[in-house]
Every structure is written in structure tokens, then in C-alpha cells.
Amino acid sequence: MNQDVVIVGGGIVGCAIADRLARAGVAVCLVERDVLGGAATAASMGHLVVLDDDPAELTLSSYSCALWRELAPLLPDNADYRTTGTLWIARDAAEMAEAERKRTRLAAAGVNGELLTAQQLAACEPALAPNLAGGLRVAADAVVYPPVVAAWLARRAVAAGARLRCGVAVSAIGDGEVVLDDGSRLRARHIVVANGCSVPELLSGAPVRRRKGHLLITTRLQPQVRHQLVELGYVQSAHGEASESVAFNVQPRPTGQLLLGSTREFDAPAGSVTPRLIARLVERAVEFLPGLAGRTALRAWTGFRPTTPDHRPLIGPWPLRAGVWLAGGHEGLGVTTALGTAELLAAQLLDLPLPFDAAPYAPGRFTSAVASHVH
Amino acid sequence: MRELSTEILVVGAGPAGIAAAVSAERAGARALLVDMQAEPGGQIWRGQWNNATDRAARRWLTALRGSPVATRYGLRLVDFAAPGLAVFDGADGPLRVRCERLIVAAGARERLLPFPGWTLPGVFGAGGLQVLVKNGWPVAGQRIVVAGSGPLLLAAAATLRKAGAQVLCIAEQTGAADLARFAAGLAPHPGKWLQAAALRGRLAGVAYRCNAWVERAEGTERLESVRLRAGRSVERIACDALAVGFGLVPNTEIAQLLGCELRDGAVVVDVHQHSSVAGIYCAGEICGIGGVDQALAQGEVAGRAAAGSGERPRALRRDCARSARFAQTLRRHFALRDELRELATADTVLCRCENVRYADAAACRSQRDARLQTRLGMGHCQARICGAAGEFLFGWTAATPRPPLAPAPLTCFTEPTSDPEPPAQESA
């Protein structure tokens, strides 16, 4: 069967693209090898956050967060969208200075942040440790339950005419077609590869590397914190190249549960939870929230973030094969930037005006490295 | 954090664990036996520790008393901080146990299936109510229907009756022909015959109906009656409680977390009860439901093997073979009937922890899909109940368990801050 576009991967990015294109009248087929939102999307925290440490990231994440705010009233209840805001926490004067710089950078992109003194921070979140220096409150940030949103976007795409194939994997990309693992083929003018950490399986040499993360969730209790709490040192953890790092990152769920993050590991084995990293994660969290020590852990899990060498996603045409597009490498920001990614990719694919400059995200920026890798 | 070390750690102090620990010591090894309950005995020998009325219980509990096996009760296994380093949680906080070899004897739990009204107050798991009554829950004078499947219904009914309840009937979903064949199959198991006969004796006058199952539990605030189907006829029975269970499900979570291979919902072991993972032995119901005799035989084999005494005496080999045949008979004749898959309606709750409706789960592709889209099995019990129900209802494969094995304080997951106490084998 022919369609205009085949999208490989039903994570939140693939579902957002399917939704965007289908509603533009494009004949879309979304192919997911297992269940919608089942891999990195399911493992993620669902923190919708504007990150500013790289101008391209700031553009994409602030644009995307605005799209989330537009979408929020339409989302079903079980998408658990909540405008919790983000509280960036400074431990000392140096981090407080960083909070001020962050506020300035965010303001330049039209994102409001409010600097908090130590007293204001304590009043804002009384459960935090008393020895902190202050913080930056970004009120418009939010949280969401990603797998439900992914499935909802896919359903909306189907309602707009998209086809959905779950339980079948794409085993190869040919010229104007994808080969499915049941031996059948789907022909399409365009193929969008959005299968997260599995991108290199289909596009040899794509510079996507897996970075493992651990999360832990508590049992239900009266809410202890109101904001998503993140230490300012998080960015060093996220964008550093350390083989292993841990940063304080806690999210209140609407259920009264607390979601505790976050760890980052390169070259870690698949699957299982590493007790040592859970220990580091918990110890870090207790430093900031001493009351956590009395809480009960319900479940811990791991997932893989798809990372690129410069920590920017790959959104746009894949330079080594005509008709193939890439939307991947979002690392820990795939849920936040899914909607903006869909807009940017759709604009390029449909030849519409770009919402912002696409060059920083162009997969072609790694082409020479890719070409040498392929040969 | 407190820390102990031992040569062989036995998790679960039911018949299999007791036999394993005692046999390991007899074979010259040091063993530590740990259980989450306050005393040994497991579910089947609950209450026997201080007043053993069952012959096998008396024999093994006496052996345990007289053995140098170290014991720790009231400790729940939470996770493994490393291979050979178990983390338990208890009233005195976390305890770490280092071991060279591990014997898992975690037993089984009841299979509960959803039907309209099954969440009403007054509806109990059959084994669950039996446990409550053994612990002193008053049922005297109450009208109770016992329903579901398997020989444990008889044991539950006997306990209820002894405690003064009026057992209105025992509804067994298995048909008469299978029951007759099961009874005939008991012939090579004189112990089982005696047990069954004794139970029937204690249940004299109680209607035992085969081909019968509860279709619906009814009541406004709490249970008032059940609708019982027997073949083509349907009958409403007014009652105060319903005790319902559909056989047992092996507690394989610990073994799964350690990577042991499973087949048909039970841990795969060799003739020495060794699992697919080096140094990990499994015994009893987690290797397949087979009752107390199988648990004792397998426990003995596991204990001896873990202690390095791999030879199995002839009598033990015979016990193993005989109990394995009984287990097979049990499986064959108490298979659950298809009609039980049709009882739940769209609004029947399937996952009680997260309040997930049957219809919302049924719309999903797999258990994983249902977990992500409806939160099925994501709550406090971690799919212990709805996981087994989903396997039966939808043919789903249950998700691999993730740590912690049970909800536990965050302090169980931090690294010990001070040097651990010098490893010491402690005695009971």
C-alpha cells in the first residue's frame, strides 16, 4: 500500500509527527514494533522544561513548551498534565549567580523566571533542606504522563486518517519503501525515522548513542512538594561527558507519589537496575529533601536516552539517502520537544515556512563523520 | 545498616525452606533461614510453631528447633544490592545478608479472578480468609460460601467450620469427571487420601458442588448474597462472606529478579533443585504447585545440594518422584474453565490498587501496554493479583518484576555509611 509518509517508531516523537502530518492532510502510516510510548517515552519523567544552556536547545524547548500549553486543555485527564513549574535550586553563591544568568537567558527567549532568596525558597517548598542558597522559579514549566500522551496523539492521527501498525518492526529502509519484519513492504515518498535509540539500526552511522538513566517512584502520600525540583548542577550532569553522573531531580505526581531522578551512564548494560546508582540517586535526593528518608519506594526502573555528540537532536533530512528524514537524538528532552520537533520536521517536509532556523538540528552537521563511519 | 553473612541463605520458612535449611545444616553447611512472617511455618503451617497438630509440621518444626540453623523472622526481602547480597526490611530497619549460595522457597499465593462484586466487603480470598481466621478473625455464626477451585478450598472450609462458621457450600468449578479422576489419582498417595478423608470428615454435611462457580457477588454496602451457577441452573444464596480462590500461583518474583529461567509460570530447576543461575537453588511451590510433600522433598534436595552433598538418597528420590506425579495430577484435573474468563463486565475492577476497569485493560495489546495506558499493576501490590488474572483472562505474559520486590523505605537503598559489623553467624 502507498502512502505519502511512513513514520518508524511510535514513541512520543513519532506519534507527534504522525499527528501533525495527518492533520495537515498527509497520508501517514505510523509503524511501532511493540506498544505506543513503550520505550524511552515510558521510562521518562515527563518534565516539560525550558533548557537554556545552548541557544538551539532554548529555542526548541521554549517553542515546544508553548505548544504544550496550547495542547493541555485538549489532553485527557489521565495524561496528568500539571503546571507544577520548575524550581532550580542553588546550593551556594556560585550557583545563585548561575541562577541569575539563567534568568537572564530565559528572559531573552520570553520565558519568565523569578529569583528566590533562601527564605523565599524555604517558604515556597518547606520540605527542602535549610542550608540552600536560593533558587529560580520558572512557573510555566509543567509535567505530563508521556505514554498516555503518545497514544492519544496517535489516536488523534488515526482520527485524521493516519494508519497505525503496532506489533510489527521495520527491519530495513529501501528506496522509497520500508521492509517490515513480517516480510511485507510499505511504499512511501518520505520515510521519517523516529525510533529513538534504535535509529542506528536502520541508518548506519547515525550518531546516536544510548545513555542509561535510573528512576525511582515512591508510594502515594500527601503531597510533600509542589514544583518539579532540580538542582542547578543538573546541566553539568546532563551535558557533561562523564561516564556516570547523578543529579537531584524530583517530580510530584498527581497521585501523591514522588518521582526521583536522575542518573546518566554511557556504555551501561541493558535493562537491569544497578543498586549502586539507585543508592547514589536516593542519597542525592535526601541531601536536598531530608524528609524523603522516611518515604517508601514502590518501584525503580531504567531507560535509555538517545544522545548525540553535541547534545542537540537530529531533525531534518538524512543526507545519505533521499526521501529519508530523521527525528531523533533528543536525549532527555524528547517529551518536552516532541511537539516542536513535529512542527519543525513537518515544515521542512511539506516545504512550509520554518518556525525557526532548522540548521542547528540538521542531521547533515555530522555528515562527514557519518560518511567516514559508513566507509 | 546491619549486616550478616552466611554460607547459605534460605528465603522463606515454609515447609520447603525449613527442610532446606535443616538439611543444609545436617550436610555440614551454615544456613540462615529468613521469613517475612513472625514465626516459621509458611502459609500451610501457620500457627503450628507453638502448637503443632499436623504430623509433618511437628516433625520439621521440632527438627528446626533442634538445629543450629540461624533464623530471622519478620524480615521481607526487598532487593539484592549485589549478587549474593540480599537486602531485607523489618521492624528494626534494613538488614543486609551476604551469602555464598541462595535457596529461594518463596511459596505461592492465591489466584484471584475478577467477577462482578468481587471487591465488595465480605468477599475474601479463600486462603486469605483462612489466614485471618487462624490469626483470630471472628467468623462464628457467619454464613459463608466457599468457592473457586482446588483442594485448598476443603482446607479453608474446614478451618472456617472449626472456627464456628456455617459453611453453606463449597463450589468447585472443576467438573465431576475430573474430580473423580483426581480422587482416583490420589490412590498412590496414601497421605493425601487420609488428608482428604479427614477434611471431608470435618466437613460432613457441607454441600460439595462440582461444576459450580460464583458468577456474581451482590450487595449494596457489603456482600449480601452470591449468584451461584451450577451447570445450567443459577441459584442465589444469601450469605455473610464469600471465600473464593482459583488455585495457587508460584511466587517467582525473587527468582525472576535474579534472572532464573521460568517455564509455565514456575522456576526451571534440575534434579538438585538448582536454577539456571549459578549458586541459586529453588524449592517448593515456586517450582510448580505440588503441595507440602513436594515442598519438603524439594527442600531437602536443595539444602543438601547447596551444602555440597549432591547425592540424593533413594528414599528422597522416591519422594520427589511421587510428589511430582501428584503435582501433575493436580494441574491436570483443576484446570480453570473458559466460562471464568467471561464473568467480569466492562465496569468490574481488575486492578484494585490503581482502580482499573476490566474494559480499559481489555482494550490494551499486552500487559505492558495496559501498565502504561491504564496503570494496571503499577500500584502497591505490583501486579501480584492482576498479573495472574491478566495471564488467565487475556493470555498476557506478566512483566518482569523490578526492584524493590515489595514497597520498602528508601533507607533500604542507600549504601551503608559506616563499616559493616564483622560478619558473624548468629544463632536463633
Q: Which grid coordinates are listed for B349?
A: 475492577
**Domain boundaries, given as residue ranges, for chain A:** 2-44+146-208+310-374, 84-140+209-307
Residue B113 has what pLDDT? Answer: 98
Chain B positions touching A294 (Cβ under 8 A) are 409-410
Query: Cα Rg for chain B, rounded, in angstroms?
Result: 22
Q: How far apart are CA B207 and CA B168, in angstroms?
A: 7
Please check whether residue A149 touches B, CB under 8 A.
no
Cβ neighbours of B216 (radius 10 Å):
18
Instruction: Give the CATH H-level superfamily of domain B112-246.
Output: FAD/NAD(P)-binding domain (3.50.50.60)
Q: Say if residue A262 is preceded by a cis peptide, omega within 30 of 0.
A: yes
> What's the rounded Cα separation, in Å, for the pair B305 and B253?
22
The reported pLDDT for the residue numbered B181 is: 86
CB A246 within 8 A of CB A206: no
Cα-Cα-Cα-Cα dihedral of B76, B297, B256, B34, to 10°?
20
Q: Note the CATH number of domain A2-44+146-208+310-374.
A: 3.50.50.60
Contact A297 B407 (CB under 8 A): yes
Looking at residue B65, the DSSP 8-state letter turns out to be H
Whether residue B414 and residue A219 make contact (CB cut-off 8 A), yes or no, is: no
CA A163 to chain centre: 25
Q: How far apart are CA B399 and CA B392, in angstroms?
A: 14
Identify any residues that bridge with A143 across adjacent strands, giving them in sequence order. A47, A82
Run of H or E residues at A89: strand A86-90
The pLDDT score that the predictor gives to residue B198 is 72
Q: Which three cell numbers stand for residue A154?
A: 496517535
Q: Is the pLDDT of residue B424 over 50?
A: no
pLDDT at A368: 66
pLDDT in tens, B116-131: 999 999 999 999 999 9
Model confidence band, residue B299 (pLDDT cutoffs 50, 70, 90) = very high
Residues of A whose CB is below 8 A from B88 = none
pLDDT score for B414:
87
A-B CB pairs within 8 A amount to 85
CATH numeric code, A84-140+209-307: 3.30.9.10
In the block, cell 535457596 appears at B103
Q: Return mean pLDDT, chain B.
A: 93
What gap in Å lies between CA B299 and CA B11, rounded to an integer? 11
Bridge partners, residue B169, by sequence: B145, B207
Which residues, including other chains, have CB under 8 Å from residue B85's CB and lie 6 or more apart?
B96, B97, B98, B99
**Which residue matches cell numbers 525557526?**
A356
CB contact under 8 A, B403 and A36: no
Class for the domain spanning B2-109+249-312: alpha beta
> Which helix (H) or strand (E) is A55 found in, with range?
helix A55-71
Contact B414 A282 (CB under 8 A): yes
- Tell me: the pLDDT tens digits for B58-72? 999 999 999 999 999
Say if residue B426's pLDDT is above 50: no
Q: Residues B196-236: pLDDT tens digits?
A: 777 777 888 899 999 999 999 999 999 999 999 998 899 99
N- to C-terminal Cα distance for chain B?
Answer: 20
Check residue B332 and give its pLDDT.
Answer: 87
Secondary structure string (H, E, C) spanning B195-253: HHHHHHHHCCCCEEEECEEEEEEECCCCCCEEEEEECCEEEEEECCEEEEEECEEECCH
- Which residues from chain B sit within 8 angstroms of residue A300, using beta carbons? 402-404, 413
| CATH 3.50.50.60 in chain B, residue ranges | 2-109+249-312, 112-246
Of the candidates A181, A182, A178, the residue with the CA atom closest to the CA atom of residue A194: A178
pLDDT tier at B422, thresholds 50, 70, 90: very low
Give the DSSP letter string of B311-323.
---HHHHHHHHHH
Q: Do A297 and B402 touch (CB under 8 A)?
A: no
Instruction: State which residues of chain A have pLDDT below 70.
Output: 1-2, 271, 368-375
Distance, in angstroms, between A77 CA and closest chain B CA?
12
User: CB of A53 within 8 A of CB of A239?
Assistant: yes
Q: Do the Cβ atoms of A278 and B412 come within 8 Å? A: no
Burial of A182 (0-12, 13-18, 19+ CB in 10 A): exposed
Residue type, B334: F
Q: What residues in A contact B407, CB-CB < 8 Å?
A: 219, 296-298
ipTM of predicted complex: 0.92
| Closest of B140, B154, B373 to residue A150, by C-alpha | B373
pLDDT of residue B140: 97
Which chain A residues touch B380 with a CB distance below 8 Å? Answer: 219, 298
Whether the per-residue pLDDT at B428 is higher than 50: the answer is no
Instruction: Report yes or no: B404 at the A interface, CB cutoff 8 Å.
Output: yes
Long-range contacts of B421-427 (CB under 8 A, 24+ apart): B421/B2, B421/B3, B423/B3, B423/B4, B423/B5, B423/B98, B424/B4, B424/B5, B425/B4, B425/B5, B425/B6, B425/B30, B425/B32, B425/B70, B426/B4, B426/B70, B427/B68, B427/B70
A335 membership: H or E segment, kind and range:
helix A334-349
